[in-house]
Amino acid sequence: MIEPAAAPPGARSPFRTALAESPPLWWALLYFFCLLCGYYVLRPVRDAMGASSDIAAVFPPALLDWAAARGIALGDFTLQVLFSGTFVVMLVLQPLYGALVSRYPRRVFLPAVYLIFIVCLIGFRWAFDTDLPGRGALFFIWIAVFNLFAVTVFWSFMADVFDNDHAKRYYGYIGAGGTLGAFLGPFITTVFVGRIGVANLPLVSAGFLAVCLLCILKLRSWARRNERRRAARDERAIGGSIWAGLKLVARDPLLRGLALLMFFGVGVGTLLYNEQAAIVRQYYPGAEAATRYYSIIDWAVAMVTILVQLLLTRWLLRRYGVGPMLLLPAIAILIGFSLLSASPYPLLVAVVQVLTRASEFSLAKPARETLYTRVSRESRYKAKAVIDTAVYRGSDLTFVWLHKALATLGSKIVFLAGIGIAAGMLLGAWRVVRAERRLPEQPAAAPLPDRPTSRAG
């Protein structure tokens, strides 16, 4: 592509230059900022529900009666039941999502997805305000679906708006914009949960999603133009079988590596999440106190993430490619679990949790999303959805039950097992790096136009 001339000393920063040469970058930044801000307003509420000792608020009466009739203490399996329910829901929704992207163009299904989420959030405001029994499980599972589908659709859309060369230049900035949202979201929850209550937080999130809708409308013309540049007919539905994503993952080495990396990467996070939940149940039994605790953890993750994104992400991606960005987090997590297996103190668990999630958001995630700009459009929407939903939640389900079994032997055993899982994550990262090196080089990209096409996307 045509690079701008070298700037003299004292000229505007690379970020301002990027904004000036790429008008869609403004909308992409605002989109990801609002998306993650809206999500992180609600994530502490979800985590507090998962760690709650009030099983009447978490599970519906029918499930409680069923468990009591069989002598099952449902409160001892809260997270296991919630993660299992999430996995089942994701399995049901995956083919529906595949059918959606097969039959309808992006200009139809993207706004529809976000409108559905906004309506759901209005419904959750009523559920929390009326203390609806079982609201905890419903909200926990819904947030997981919202996170995976909304973010998956976002990055797939970005892969249409920006080609590989532009992705390397701009994804670091877009990720930083999302991290600012991830910083503001838990801050809003920390400050306002005691004032407006848990019930009103979904309305705050719904407002941010409404802005996301506006950004989709503004960006879709650039997405169409970029697809035309790739000789693709953007207004045509993607087509193909709703199970095509599974077939693509099975036969493509890069996609298989990404699935392996996702499976073990989620596994280490699930082990840490369950250990942290045990701490919260002991020290923060109230819903608002637990929500505030989790929001502080999320805030710390956002702080570390944005520092890494601003100082390292773009430089690493442009200079060395995706290799270091995938391998370094896996190595860091392997070291962290080794330390925890020797000294599983609660504070160290929190520190490793922050570092694990921050390295995922600041390094591994942007690297993986960059790779999706180099695969087919069907892979970006279908195979990516399989990896980000079925593989993700399958890992959650596997390791939440594994943790339950290992926890009976003590925290040290949990983290010793975690060392092996972290090693699997490192193996997955290495396989992705090897497969990426075999991909054909892409031609240089043309500059993005200053204005979108006049025809609506």
Does residue 229 or residue 127 have the better pLDDT? 127
Q: Of the ranges 230-239, 261-270, 342-351, 362-371, which one carries the lowest mean pLDDT score?
A: 230-239
Q: Of the ranges 172-181, 221-230, 231-240, 414-423, which one carries the lowest mean pLDDT score?
A: 231-240
Model confidence at 167, pLDDT cuts 50, 70, 90, reads low
pLDDT at 308 > cutoff 70: yes
**DSSP class of 440:** P
Q: Residue 2: what pLDDT?
A: 34
pLDDT at 102 > cutoff 80: no
pLDDT at 28 > cutoff 70: yes
Q: Which of 269-283, 317-331, 428-442 has maximum average pLDDT?
A: 317-331
Model confidence at 454, pLDDT cuts 50, 70, 90, reads very low
Q: Residue 229: what pLDDT?
A: 67
DSSP string, 224-277: HHHHHHTT--TTS---S-TTHHHHHHHH-HHHHHHHHHHHHHHHHHHHHHHHHH
Q: Residue 238: what pLDDT?
A: 53
Q: Residue 440: what pLDDT?
A: 63
d(CA 443, CA 262): 29
- Compute the average pLDDT of residues 167-173: 73
pLDDT at 263 > cutoff 90: yes
Model confidence at 455, pLDDT cuts 50, 70, 90, reads very low
d(CA 223, CA 167): 13
Structure tokens at 222: 């650039």
Q: Of the ranges 1-10, 160-169, 236-245, which one carries the lowest mean pLDDT score?
A: 1-10
Q: Residue 219: what pLDDT?
A: 85
User: Residue 427 — left, alpha, or beta (φ > 0 → left; ψ -120 to 50 → alpha)?
Assistant: alpha
Q: What percent of the chain has pLDDT over 90?
A: 9
d(CA 160, CA 436): 19
pLDDT at 1 > cutoff 50: no
Q: What percent of the chain has pLDDT over 70?
A: 82
- Compute the average pLDDT of residues 157-180: 75
pLDDT tens for 200-241 read: 888 999 999 999 988 988 888 777 777 666 554 444 545 545
pLDDT tens for 337-353 read: 888 888 877 778 888 88
Q: Residue 15: what pLDDT?
A: 65
Q: Residue 30: what pLDDT?
A: 92
Residues 6 or more apart whose Cβ sits within 8 Å of residue 361: 175, 178, 179, 182, 301, 305, 309
- Compute the average pLDDT of residues 176-199: 81
Q: Residue 7: what pLDDT?
A: 45
Q: Residue 5: what pLDDT?
A: 41
How many Cβ atoms are within 10 Å of 339's Cβ, its own excluded? 14
Q: Residue 264: what pLDDT?
A: 93
**DSSP class of 451:** S
Does residue 299 or residue 378 have the better pLDDT? 299
pTM: 0.68
- Compute the average pLDDT of residues 35-64: 84
Q: Residue 31: what pLDDT?
A: 92
